[in-house]
Structure 1
Amino acid sequence: MSLRLRRIAVDGFRKFREPMVIEGLTDGLNIVIEPNETGKSTLLEALRAAFFVRHGTKNQLAQSFAPHGEAVGPEIQVAFEADGAPWTVTKRFLKGATIEVTGPQGKAQGEEAEARLHALLGSVRDTSQKGDAGSYGALGLLWVAQTEALAVSAPGQIVRDTVRSTLEAEVGSIMGGPAYTRVRTRIDEQFGRYWSPTGQRRGRQNEARERVEIAEVAAREAADRLAGLERTFSDLEAARARLKVVQREIADDTDVQTRKDLVASLEVARAAAQILATRRAEHEAVNAKVRGLEDLSERHRKATEDRDKANLALGQARAQRAELSHGLAAAKQRLADVRSALDSARASRQDARLALGAGQDRVRASRRRAAVAAAGNRHAELVELERLHGEAKTLAATLTPSKTMDLLEANERAVAEARALRSAGATSITLSGETAGISIDGEPASPCERTLTGITVVRLGDAELVITPPAGAASAEEALSSALKKQQSTLEELDVVDLAAARARNDAARDAASELRTIAARIEATTPADENVGLAAGADALKLFIFELVDEPGVEEADLPDIAALTNALEAADSALAKAEGAQESAVDALRRIEEDDAPLATVEAGAASDLANAKAQIDTIEGRSEFPTLVVDLTRAREQTAEAAVKLEEATRDATAHDPAAITRKIETVDARSRAAGVARTKLEMDIARLEGTVESEGGKGLANRAAGACEEAEAARAALQRITEEAETLKLLRETLDEARDETSAKFVGPVAKRAKRHIERLLPGCDLSFAEDLTLEAVIRGGISEGCGDLSRGTQEQLAVLTRIAFADMLLEQGRPVSLILDDPLVYSDDARLDLMVEILSETAERMQVILLTCRDRAFRHVAANRVSIAR
């Protein structure tokens, strides 16, 4: 049966803070086209809340129904038809939560009303915090919120069970019967003892493996301890045998005698070494004496040679310097003369510069006085211009704004119009001749013409004439009075007599504003900068200069010096100074060249004199020593003693080589080390034997052989149990997989009819395709040209279109079973191109012939041409 919504009323639900009603929903295709942020998605959420969310819940979803910042009770009322019968549901959340359902069975409230809705719609109670569309039944699949149709998803468990019950008769097989359930439950229970849900070993398998590991570890430990005891017996016998060998080695006295012989040889070697050291010291002493005498003789010879060379070099240097002395004296005298001339030129140049500076100062002072006088004239002109500028500025400030002038013009027109109206509606009287005894409104009358706007009493002696003008005259007079007051008020604010005066003043203000620019330009031209007095441009700079000006003494023009003559004199002094400096540089260069020639000679002379003095001092020192007179005889005798000492040293070296103390000492150390090692080995063997005897005594009585045999038997039993349990686990796994295969075969029988119905719609979108559904009735893939394409690999637009078409297929199957079905799509087909959009609209229009279809969209252009019932969200 088809579910048809007729009226939806929402109040205080999210963005619908004020009551909102949608009416006029028809059986076929209904389109709600509204702009973004209008509340289309909120409308679908309100429908879901009215049908599926328990009224008394205060979960997170229900809390979100209240408008932000308001503590109200959101309320929804929906009128609909199910199987042709009218129904109404009214539900309120949070504040004063209530529900009332009206149907063919009458009214129901509270939990009974919730139960009737679940029974009618095939839904179950939703216990989630944020809303579970799977518990909403068929409408949870077919009422598609925004973006829920962007991917192909599986229907909920309620829809799958309903579809299976629909297809049971068609496929001739019952899926999940009681027998299958009992067997599968038992197998799953047994399977869980051996395997995890992901197929990993656990439970009894792990326990058996742990038992095997523990038994094998115990067997290895028992075998290791038994083997260790046997090794201990063998080590004990070997240690006792080695101890006997070591004891025999220690009892042998061969090493003792050898050590005595080596000690005696060491004493002889040490004596020979002592003699060798004595002979070596004697040889070194004689050699040192010979070297000292030879060095003294060599130094005396070298000092004599140095003295002779220094005498020769000193004579040559002195002769060469004598030749240069006359030229050096002449160069020094010429340099003194040139320096005197240079000093005189510098003094003349200084006098010329001072004279030129003084002349320039007097000229600058003259120019400054002229500039100061000009500045005073410009200042007087500036004062006058500033006065004119102030007057013009004051006059320009009286310019009346254009809006005010427009107001005056409008007031003037209003006064004229009021006067015209008064003249048109008033009564005019003319009094002439003798007016004695006549009064008008109690006042004596005079000959004139009067305009009467109100009731006027004219007394003629004892008679009284009452004149009543037309009714509009009074209002015209009042209008004129009001216009005059308004105009007068505006004129008083502007401080003018009338409009003509205001216009004249405005014209004068405009002329003054124009004159301001002219005066400003004249002020700028009158206040230029003047470098002669350091005056900057501008009126402020000129006024400050005049204010700070100090009177300066005057100088007559006839007293001014000739700057050109003074400049020529300075140039002549500069030229003379340059010539004097050139002459000085030439004299300095000539003196430098002579000094450069004399400097090496002076250096050579000084060096030769120093070398001569050093050589003489060294000769005197050597010849003054006591051993110098007998130096030749002593040197000969010392050389003979050196030869004798060398012969004795050779003999002592041969004797020392025959007995080597180091080699003898090493042999003695070897004997001692062998003796110590034998002692240490005996001590270590005695300790090892004691330790091994203790181990044998402690381990020998524990029955290690029996323990090892028992541990081996336990390991064999544990391995056998593990093999048996593994076989049981594999058998259960095989049985479970066999049941799964059988279930898959049965499921395939249900998937076939679903694919057949869905293909009827999808083939129009993708011609020549085959469909592949999963066990949970999810469309997994589309097969085109023998190539399988997963739904997740398709474009977003194709996925969205397939999601809508599979929902239509499920809706048709549910409709066959008589379930309440309607299709609501929120903002559908957003990724579809124009051709596919037209095709999808055509399919939806055909679907609307079998059930109610409601489209919520903001795209007016995309659905403008569709023939459908258009509904607006009214507030």
Structure 2
Amino acid sequence: MSLVIRRIAVENFRKFRAPVVIEGLTDGLNVVIEPNETGKSTLLEALRAAFFVRFNTRNQLAQSFAPHGDAVGPEVEVTFDVDGAPWSVTKHFLRSASVEISGPQGRAQGEEAEARLNALLGSVRDTSRGGDVATYGALGLLWVAQTEALSVTAPGQIVRDSVTSTLEAEVGSIMGGAAYRRVRDRVEAQYEVYWTPTGQKRGRQADARERLDAAETAAREAADRLAMLERSFSDVEAARARLKIIQREMADNTDAQTRSDLVASLDVARAAAQILSTRRAEQEAVNGKVKALADLRQRHDDATQVRMKADAALTEASERRLGVADTLSAAKQKVVDARTALDVARTERQAARTALAEGEERNRQSRRGLAVQSARQRHADLLKLEEQHSTAKALSDTAIAPKVLTSLEAHDRAVAEAQAVVSAGATRIALSGSANGITIDGEPMALGVRTLDHEVHVRFGAAELQITPPASAASAAEVLASALRKQKAALDDLGVVDLAAARARHEIARDAAADLRTLEARIEAATPADDLLQVTAGSAALKLFVAELGTEEAVGEGELPDIEALTKAVETADSASARAEGAQDSAIEALRRAEKEEAPLATAEARATSDVANAVSALEAIERRPEWTTLTEDLAKAREQAAEASVKVEDAVRDASAHDVAAITRKIELIDARVRTAGETRTRLETDIARLEGTIESEGGLGLADRTAAASEEVEAARLALQRITDEAETLKLLRSTLDAARNETSAKFVGPVAARAKRHIERLLPGCELNFSEDLGLESVIRAGVDESCASLSRGTQEQLAVLTRIAFADMLLEQGKPVSLILDDPLVYSDDARLDTMIEILSEAATRMQVVLLTCRDRAFRHVAGNRIVL
């Protein structure tokens, strides 16, 4: 049962923004040869979208259908035949998503339409984000997009099931076919009740485990509650006994009497502490006064010593500084003399350099003047050459192309040939004698010979003569007139009177073109670059320079200075300036040494002067203080007061030690804490007793012992149920693995028929080779000359060819089963050589006799000779 695509219409689908319709596809071989970026691959993607992508999906693949940058809804419409019956499907994606399918059973929309498509094409629902071709069924294998056939791959599960169902009768086994799938599905359904796909426990096993865990938890809780009730009886008795002890302790008044005595002692202790603080403050005041007076005396003594040392240092520094004063004065004078000599030398050097610069400038101006004269001469020559160049250019532009001359010659020959024809077939009349009273077509007739190419009327007075030339003369005359018009039009276009004038003009133009090249070379030679004038090569630069030049003239040669003498004068001035700079540097260095020797002496003198002033100032400040005059008496009296204060402090310390405030306070706090703790303990015990009594009252009548026994029985029952369900799950797991092993053993039986069908195609490409298929019906290797070669190690071209041929073999097997089949190849056989390409085209042409084959390619040279229905996008 072949599937034949008849018509495809797409709009707003990737590059197809405007509506595009492809019609005229036939049952056999259809070839689409278009350049890259035309939309061939997009066309195949649109077919896949119409048949296999759900209309209401918004996955990554569906989002890619919309044209880049447009917020529109892609639309695809396909008309096709299945087993001769017409069908059509229309899908809208993303915006206003919809699907409609019509066929022999009528129309359907939405999910019903998707279900009909899946049933018709043998596909299943695709839930992937980017499109899974394995869910497309047979057409997912046979509609091959770009690069999908570059390696040999195994068919999907849907195709394998269809193929194995076809081969069951041949191999005599149900393993791997539809019957096996039914058995396996039943086992798989039961397996999923107990196990996850990764072999983890779930379903009934998980429920049984949860039941056991819940029963064990309930049993533990019942046992815990029973134990707690039993502990509550003993705990309440112990709490009551402790409460009696606490109440007896709180009734004792010993702690209250002790606390009252301690509070009375605390007042005496606080008064003693206050007296001690007062005595210590008085002592600190007296000690401070003694310290201040003693410090004043010590500062006066220190200032006196500092003043004596500063006076001695100042005297020594002054004497040492006077010793270097003469040397410093002489060094300063030497620096002044050296600076004056250097200024004179620099002035003379600057004058010499100025004279040299002026001389060099005059020489440069002289050279520039000569260069300017040369440039003016070259400019004059350039103008003459350009005038000649313009004249030659105008003449060369009048050249006539050889093709035009050939055309004029052809027109001339056509006129000559037409005139010959007219002369050969025309009627001639001759008039001699007197022409008075004779007219021809109403005009006076002249003497001589006249050639007639049309009917004329000649009158002789009252008589009229009608002359009719042959009929061929009129056509010949028309041909001549046409030739003359064409010739005149061609000559008028060129502005010449005849062919000879055109040839003469062409010769003149050709000679002018030769002269033009010579003039261009002369112009280039007359306009070289001039570094002195900073003029680049070329006529434009020379013209610009002369235009901007003005009236600049050269300096006369007799007025040029002697540059050599001026240079020697500059060198002499530079030497004198250098010697003056050296003498100044030497004087400055001597002055720096004298200043370096004098600087520390001046610093020491200034420091000693400052120290003397500071000491005098400090002494004067101390002696101006009011307490200075009576300092000795005040200091002695203050020391006596300090001794008396120390005695008073010692007495206060003894009184305060006898009554310790901190110790008394700690004892009072201890008694308060003991009373507070007893009250809190009593409250807590009363609370615990009430709680325990409430627990006993509420739990005692609930039959906790019976509940504990029942929970233990439930644990045992749940444990037995878990064991039974575990045994069932393990049995199903063993049955499933046994079926898989049996299927693996049997699947090898299907490889033989598949290899036999594929070999008849591959034999034409690789004669004498044997095929080796894997258990999943994928071609693994080929055996040539006894050597087993893996498909992955073959060349890319051979892999692609084998991939196409195995697809044709599977298509034939699916046709035998009545599955809808067609073959679409996008850019196939890109790595094939010419010989294998011809063989593959022959095989595809033969396959097109059994199914529809569509080739999408950009290789015009490789497929232009292929006989088939040509489709243009």
* TM-score, length-scaled by structure 2: 0.62
Residue 500 of structure 2 is matched in structure 1 by: 500
Contact conserved, 1:408 with 1:487, CA < 8 A, in 2? yes
How far 1:675 moved relative to its partner? 2.0
Residue 864 of structure 1 is matched in structure 2 by: none
How far 1:318 moved relative to its partner? 1.9
In 2, distance between residues paired with 1:741 and 1:317? 116
Which stretch shifts more, 271-280 or 488-497? Answer: 271-280
Write out per-residue CA displacement over residues 72-126 of structure 1, whole angstroms, 9 at most, x where no aligned residue: 97679xxxxxxxxxxxx8644459xxxxxxxxxxxxxx989xxxxxxxxxxxx99
Write out per-residue CA displacement over residues 761-811 of structure 1, whole angstroms, 9 at most, x where no aligned residue: 99999999999999xxx99999x9xxxx9x999998999999999999999
Residue 53 of structure 1 is matched in structure 2 by: none
Contact conserved, 1:822 with 1:853, CA < 8 A, in 2? no
In 1, distance between residues paired with 2:730 and 2:583? 126
Contact conserved, 2:195 with 2:729, CA < 8 A, in 1? no
Contact conserved, 1:191 with 1:732, CA < 8 A, in 2? no
How far 1:854 moved relative to its partner? 5.2
Residue 253 of structure 1 is matched in structure 2 by: 253
Aligned pairs for 1:203-282 (under 5 A) are 227-263=227-263, 266=266, 270=270, 273=273, 277=277, 280-281=280-281
Structure 2 letter corresponding to 1:305? Q
Aligned pairs for 1:820-839 (under 5 A) are none
Evaluate the alpha carbon distance shift between residue 329 and residue 579 of structure 1 in structure 2; reply closer, same or farther with a 3 A threshold: same
Write out per-residue CA displacement over residues 428-448 of structure 1, whole angstroms, 9 at most, x where no aligned residue: 999899899999989868678
Evaluate the alpha carbon distance shift between residue 72 and residue 244 of structure 1 in structure 2; reply closer, same or farther with a 3 A threshold: closer
Structure 2 letter corresponding to 1:703? G
Evaluate the alpha carbon distance shift between residue 603 and residue 483 of structure 1 in structure 2; reply closer, same or farther with a 3 A threshold: same
In 2, distance between residues paired with 1:70 and 1:247? 96
Aligned pairs for 1:441-480 (under 5 A) are 479-480=479-480
In 2, distance between residues paired with 1:619 and 1:141? 120
Contact conserved, 2:430 with 2:448, CA < 8 A, in 1? yes
Residue 615 of structure 1 is matched in structure 2 by: 615
Indicate whether 1:331 and 2:359 are aligned: no
Is the partner of 1:249 in helix, strand or coil? helix
Structure 2 letter corresponding to 1:329? S
Aligned length: 739
Contact conserved, 1:144 with 1:826, CA < 8 A, in 2? no
Evaluate the alpha carbon distance shift between residue 131 and residue 418 of structure 1 in structure 2; reply closer, same or farther with a 3 A threshold: farther
Residue 312 of structure 2 is matched in structure 1 by: 312
Is the partner of 1:151 in helix, strand or coil? coil
In 1, distance between residues paired with 2:479 and 2:333? 124
Residue 81 of structure 1 is matched in structure 2 by: none
Contact conserved, 1:773 with 1:780, CA < 8 A, in 2? no
Contact conserved, 2:458 with 2:466, CA < 8 A, in 1? yes
In 1, distance between residues paired with 2:811 and 2:528? 92
Which stretch shifts more, 650-659 or 599-608? Answer: 650-659
- Unmatched segments (≥5 aa) in structure 1: 23-31, 39-57, 77-88, 96-109, 113-124, 860-870
In 2, distance between residues paired with 1:284 and 1:162? 121
In 1, distance between residues paired with 2:154 and 2:187? 37
How far 1:490 moved relative to its partner? 1.0
Evaluate the alpha carbon distance shift between residue 745 and residue 625 of structure 1 in structure 2; reply closer, same or farther with a 3 A threshold: closer
In 2, distance between residues paired with 1:670 and 1:465? 173
In 2, distance between residues paired with 1:744 and 1:619? 118
Write out per-residue CA displacement over residues 472-520 of structure 1, whole angstroms, 9 at most, x where no aligned residue: 7776665454434322221111011222221221222223233334434
Structure 1 letter corresponding to 2:155? A
Residue 485 of structure 2 is matched in structure 1 by: 485
How far 1:395 moved relative to its partner? 1.9
- Unmatched segments (≥5 aa) in structure 2: 10-20, 35-49, 56-73, 90-102, 106-112, 124-136, 856-865
Residue 105 of structure 1 is matched in structure 2 by: none
Indicate whether 1:514 and 2:527 are aligned: no
How far 1:555 moved relative to its partner? 8.4
Structure 2 letter corresponding to 1:396? S
Contact conserved, 2:31 with 2:869, CA < 8 A, in 1? no
Structure 2 letter corresponding to 1:408? L
In 2, distance between residues paired with 1:72 and 1:456? 75
Evaluate the alpha carbon distance shift between residue 728 and residue 161 of structure 1 in structure 2; reply closer, same or farther with a 3 A threshold: farther
Indicate whether 1:590 and 2:594 are aligned: no
Write out per-residue CA displacement over residues 656-687 of structure 1, whole angstroms, 9 at most, x where no aligned residue: 55654433332232222212222333333344
In 2, distance between residues paired with 1:499 and 1:540? 41
How far 1:129 moved relative to its partner? 0.7
Write out per-residue CA displacement over residues 725-760 of structure 1, whole angstroms, 9 at most, x where no aligned residue: 668868987998999999999999999998998899
Contact conserved, 1:205 with 1:725, CA < 8 A, in 2? no
Residue 100 of structure 1 is matched in structure 2 by: none
Is the partner of 2:486 in helix, strand or coil? helix
How far 1:608 moved relative to its partner? 1.5
Residue 703 of structure 1 is matched in structure 2 by: 701
Structure 2 letter corresponding to 1:401? A
Write out per-residue CA displacement over residues 808-865 of structure 1, whole angstroms, 9 at most, x where no aligned residue: 9999xx9xxxx999999999x999x99xx9xx99xx9xxx9xxx99598899xxxxxx
Residue 116 of structure 2 is matched in structure 1 by: 128
How far 1:327 moved relative to its partner? 2.8
Residue 408 of structure 2 is matched in structure 1 by: 408
In 1, distance between residues paired with 2:192 and 2:226? 39
Evaluate the alpha carbon distance shift between residue 551 and residue 619 of structure 1 in structure 2; reply closer, same or farther with a 3 A threshold: same
In 2, distance between residues paired with 1:354 and 1:768? 104
Structure 1 letter corresponding to 2:614? N
Aligned pairs for 1:20-31 (under 5 A) are 20=26
Evaluate the alpha carbon distance shift between residue 233 and residue 567 of structure 1 in structure 2; reply closer, same or farther with a 3 A threshold: same
Structure 2 letter corresponding to 1:151? P
Structure 2 letter corresponding to 1:711? R
Is the partner of 1:128 in helix, strand or coil? helix
Residue 151 of structure 1 is matched in structure 2 by: 155
Contact conserved, 2:283 with 2:645, CA < 8 A, in 1? yes
Write out per-residue CA displacement over residues 290-321 of structure 1, whole angstroms, 9 at most, x where no aligned residue: 54454444434433332332222222222222
Contact conserved, 1:167 with 1:750, CA < 8 A, in 2? no
How far 1:375 moved relative to its partner? 5.0
Contact conserved, 1:396 with 1:509, CA < 8 A, in 2? yes
Structure ID, larger Rg:
1
Contact conserved, 1:382 with 1:539, CA < 8 A, in 2? yes
How far 1:575 moved relative to its partner? 4.6
In 2, distance between residues paired with 1:570 and 1:59? 101
In 2, distance between residues paired with 1:689 and 1:632? 84
In 2, distance between residues paired with 1:530 and 1:810? 88
Structure 1 letter corresponding to 2:406? D
Contact conserved, 2:369 with 2:553, CA < 8 A, in 1? no
In 2, distance between residues paired with 1:637 and 1:421? 169
Evaluate the alpha carbon distance shift between residue 273 and residue 193 of structure 1 in structure 2; reply closer, same or farther with a 3 A threshold: closer
How far 1:246 moved relative to its partner? 1.7
Is the partner of 2:324 in helix, strand or coil? helix
Contact conserved, 2:822 with 2:853, CA < 8 A, in 1? no
Contact conserved, 1:152 with 1:779, CA < 8 A, in 2? no
Residue 107 of structure 1 is matched in structure 2 by: none
Aligned pairs for 1:315-714 (under 5 A) are 315-348=315-348, 376-418=376-418, 425=424, 479-527=479-527, 538-544=538-544, 547=547, 572-623=572-623, 660-693=660-693, 699=698, 703-704=701-702, 706=703, 708-709=704-705, 711-712=707-708, 714=710
Write out per-residue CA displacement over residues 700-739 of structure 1, whole angstroms, 9 at most, x where no aligned residue: 6x822x3x35534654665576577668868987998999
In 2, distance between residues paired with 1:353 and 1:420? 97
Structure 1 letter corresponding to 2:390? G
Structure 2 letter corresponding to 1:500? A
Q: CA RMSD in A?
A: 6.8
Evaluate the alpha carbon distance shift between residue 361 and residue 347 of structure 1 in structure 2; reply closer, same or farther with a 3 A threshold: same
In 2, distance between residues paired with 1:206 and 1:397? 102
